[in-house]
Structure 1
Amino acid sequence: MKKLARRALAPLTAAALGLTLLSGTQAAAEPEAWTAAWATSPQLPSEGFTPNWSQAGFSHQTVRQVVRVTQAGERARIRLSNAYGTSPLRITGATIARTGKGAAVEKGSVRHLTFDGKRAVVIPARGQAASDAASLEVGEESSVTVTLYLAGTTGPATFHAQGFADTYRADGDHRADASGRAFDESSQSWYYLSGVDVSGSSAPPRRDGVVLFGDSITDGFGSTAGKNRRYPDVLAARLDRPVLNAGIGGNLVLNDSAWFGERGSARFQRDVLDQPGVSTVVVLEGLNDIGFYEAQKAGFDRPTYWPAPKVSASELIAGYRELIRQAHGRGVRIVGATLLPLGGSDHYGPDAARVSDEVNAWIRTSGEFDAVVDLDRVLADPSDAERLDPKYDFGDHLHPNDAGYARLASAVAEVL
């Protein structure tokens, strides 16, 4: 296990202070400051890209989820979201443990979690809850397993569609099992779990967390599933600071989507600014705003591409300015990333080409972001600047492959 980092980050919000929201009431603050070590962005229940359990929800079942943390600690807590629930959600019990193989966990590491001192918690519709601290030593870049037992019937579940990691399900109560034998179903989405925080340091509080905000490129589409080769994972391995992934595949800066989450400006506070200890955000988003219109125009008229209005450069820039305003209002440094080349993809066409060039020129030259990383140039084909370099192309001419994500992470690391 890696040496524990000796840091504690200053809290920002009720969640950061250790407050559990229970039917509109707040529990007492816990004594330590928390660092967000892993996070994901909640979404509406939907069919998503691959089969998942969000629309059916759960009934008398146990859900086991494996996540990779980017900060070490001696204590841990989880954050749960019922952001898109229309009724209260009852979590009958939850545990956290160090990860074993597959759905198994390390023997002797299972810790029952409490919420304001109780093992069960009811999270109001559109609410969230943070557990109490559990004594569990975790290493930086190690995995922890969070297990939820749902004795009742939940209805549709708030989730994150593209986890690119296995989540497991079992009938009955298996929250304390070290073995993974009972977990005979899997999907690659996360359910209700929105964050894992750590604490346990005597060092003065620090705030140096990095949130990567974006769409499927930040989410990791095109990377090897189960191998933690998304660009946030690669960046975390390069930096001695927490790195959080706030990407949602298909997300838009300007418009809400039933499939791909609330628009960037609407979810920015929750997914970025409310993370405990955040100091910097990197914004890489906008290709879907300009590309869905081209895809629909070319005949890809699927619900996944709705809404698909024609978006101008000035409209997209106004969206970025709103993100900048929110970040600066909370004292957070904001880095702008230029849009990647999209030539040859289903997002490409004359309007997208023109708007992406205009937007990238503004990102590079306006001075409105605190720093800029020029990913358009870093990942472009040397012989055709409109296209991804073939050695970095996943195959759809839109998303990077593992090598592309590693190159992207390297470029981002240089400006942090």
Structure 2
Amino acid sequence: MWNKALYVVICLSAGGRRRTVAFRQCLLSDLGHSSLANRLLRETTMLCATSHKITCVDVQRPAHVLSTTGSLRASNLNSLAVRQSVIYRTERIGKDRLNRQTKNIVRCVCNCHRTHRSSAFHKEKGVNRWIPALLKAALVISIVLPGTASNRVQGAETSAPWIGTWSASPSITDDDGFNNQTLRQIVRTSIGGTSARIRLSNLFGSEPLVIGEARIARCAQGQQTVPGSDRAVTFGGQPNVTIPVGASVVSDPVAFEVPPLADVAISLYLPVRTAPRSTGHVDGLQDIYIAAGDVAADPAFTGGNTFSPGGQSYYFLTNLDVMNPAATGAVVTFGASITDGLKSTVNGNRRWPNRLAIRLQQAGMTVGVLNQGISGNDFFTNNAGQAGLKRFGRDALQQSGANWVVISDDAINDLNTDKPSTAARLIGALRQLIERAHRANIKVICSTLTPFAATGPVEAARQDINAFILSSTTSGCDAVLDQAKAVSDPANPAVLLPAYNSGDDLHPNEAGLQAIADAMDLDALTAGPPVQAP
């Protein structure tokens, strides 16, 4: 039986001979054995449906459906426009649209959330009824899930899965743009791997983003990298790429040994002026180095400085993934400033997700830890990044190898405001996120809300929400991270323990963040679904 099966229908036509083959998602790399498929994959637009339907669309006439087992509108599709093997990802749910740039391609998608055998699938979905329409196609038809790409590394295929080792949630930074400059950005890994890939985002950009060169290397100290460790990062075999507005791009796999719990430098050369207010991650708590010209491959990063126009923000870089056959998946920590590590030391990597990654390594568990916290974020407003309910699909469920998600502290910002939300509304939001995660076969670790010296109805609402989370029979949570118990004062649970108070009565200090990491039951991260290779 196949878990989370994604069926791929391929129609090849060469030399007058046609054949149709069905694959599941983890066998997509088998396409690499066909030179025709390899060539055509670089020109193919890939779609992922949001329902259990099979549809073929003629790209020359995007509104014309050739064959379908049910009605399916363009707005229900997840469009992954691919050019030269580069995936440009749009919003997965609700804002997806057909890409009309790629011509002469017939696209077919079948997204099945149930478990089927191949023969059962053919019988149950009535494949024979629509195969004749597919056979009219003269090109390869393929499908990949968001966050997946070819597993070919320097010409060799591998079945290892992609697992996230580092991530940062995209929002809008406060900068004036860049021009003929190189950014060197430092990320702290959680797990290691034998190969790497990066994701760059122009999600909130107002103009196409041109990347002239990208490199990855081991960090020595500061802006300096270890000589000889530098590797070029390519996109569809090319050293440069242009990312459309609202899209993201995944690099080709790089043969690069990624160490666990270590700093990796990713350098991006921006040859032309970029628009102000870049897509990036505010409050990255990490120095970003900027230099004039293209010095991406220079270990010394000559001329580099830390005078970033947007402060200690990450720019354009949202993910570093690794291949690691031993990995059992990734846990996504989804939340606000406490998850983001706001009161931790700059360049210290002492956020509680960082500390959790250390615990997992010490326990011999190869689980990626992906921080998707945005300081100031809440469930309902776009005041600090997109609202939690809106970004959850992209920032949590679509992370590479995600098997677990910790729903952390967004709700605190919905309570700690002039117009606090009710407990009922916040519990409803939690139920919605839990249901969405379970539909994606991702387990949910619910976190209790830490105290912030609230009183009256607001404190009562916090306690009601925590009581709901701790009630395993009604919450739907697969496990609980009791952050409130970890950092509150036993003598007065409405406030932080003085030893864990950063001084603002809201954010735990580094000792408090360590206490949160220590409160995670690692057994909750041992029973995830198997990770399958794309």
Q: TM-score range by the shorter chain?
A: 0.7 to 0.9
**Contact preservation (8 Å) 1:45, 1:84:** no
The CA deviation at 1:44 is 2.1
Superposition pairs of residues 230-269 of structure 1, within 5 angstroms? 230-239=351-360, 240=365, 241-257=367-383, 260-269=384-393
Deviations 1:198-223 (A, max 9, x none): 1154x6xx542111110000000111
Percent of aligned pairs sharing the same letter: 38
| Counterpart code for 2:421 | V
For 1:339 and 1:210, the matched residues in 2 are separated by: 19
The CA deviation at 1:310 is 3.1
Q: Which runs of 5+ in 2 are unaligned?
A: 1-24, 29-47, 49-78, 90-98, 103-142, 153-157, 526-534
| Counterpart code for 2:191 | Q
Specify which structure has the bigger relative contact order, considering alpha-carbon pairs within 8 angstroms and separated by 6 or more residues: 1
Deviates more, 1:376-385 or 1:210-219: 376-385
Indicate the residue corresponding to 2:281 in structure 1: 160
For 2:465 and 2:209, the matched residues in 1 are separated by: 42
Q: Equivalent residue of 1:397, what SS?
A: coil
Change (3 A) 1:243 1:19: farther
For 2:347 and 2:26, the matched residues in 1 are separated by: 32
For 1:191 and 1:337, the matched residues in 2 are separated by: 29
The CA deviation at 1:224 is 1.4
Which of 279, 304, 311 lines up with 1:183 in the alignment? 304
Q: Which runs of 5+ in 1 are unaligned?
A: 1-8, 47-52, 294-308
Which of 397, 401, 405 lines up with 1:273 in the alignment? 397
For 1:399 and 1:355, the matched residues in 2 are separated by: 19
Indicate the residue corresponding to 1:21 in structure 2: 87
**Contact preservation (8 Å) 2:332, 2:405:** yes
Q: Equivalent residue of 2:171, what SS?
A: coil
The alignment covers a number of residue pairs equal to 375
Superposition pairs of residues 181-220 of structure 1, within 5 angstroms? 181-186=302-307, 187-199=311-323, 201=325, 207-220=328-341
Indicate the residue corresponding to 1:360 in structure 2: 466
Indicate the residue corresponding to 1:351 in structure 2: 457
**Contact preservation (8 Å) 1:375, 1:408:** yes
For 1:11 and 1:339, the matched residues in 2 are separated by: 42
Which of 437, 453, 456 lines up with 1:327 in the alignment? 437
Indicate the residue corresponding to 2:406 in structure 1: 282
Which of 215, 222, 245 lines up with 1:125 in the alignment? 245
Indicate the residue corresponding to 1:376 in structure 2: 484
TM-score in terms of structure 1 length: 0.85
The CA deviation at 1:66 is 0.2
The CA deviation at 1:276 is 1.1
Change (3 A) 1:107 1:212: same
Change (3 A) 1:382 1:22: closer
| Counterpart code for 1:142 | A
Q: Equivalent residue of 1:134, what SS?
A: coil
Q: Over the residues paired in the alignment, what is the CA RMSD in angstroms? A: 2.4
**Contact preservation (8 Å) 1:223, 1:402:** yes
| Counterpart code for 2:165 | A
For 1:197 and 1:389, the matched residues in 2 are separated by: 37
Deviations 1:220-250 (A, max 9, x none): 0111111111000000001121111010000
Q: Equivalent residue of 1:136, what SS?
A: coil
Change (3 A) 1:281 1:312: same
Indicate the residue corresponding to 2:19 in structure 1: none
Indicate the residue corresponding to 1:108 in structure 2: 228
TM-score in terms of structure 2 length: 0.67
| Counterpart code for 2:374 | I
**Contact preservation (8 Å) 1:11, 1:277:** no
| Counterpart code for 1:164 | L
Deviations 1:93-140 (A, max 9, x none): 111101111001010111111100000101110000011111111211
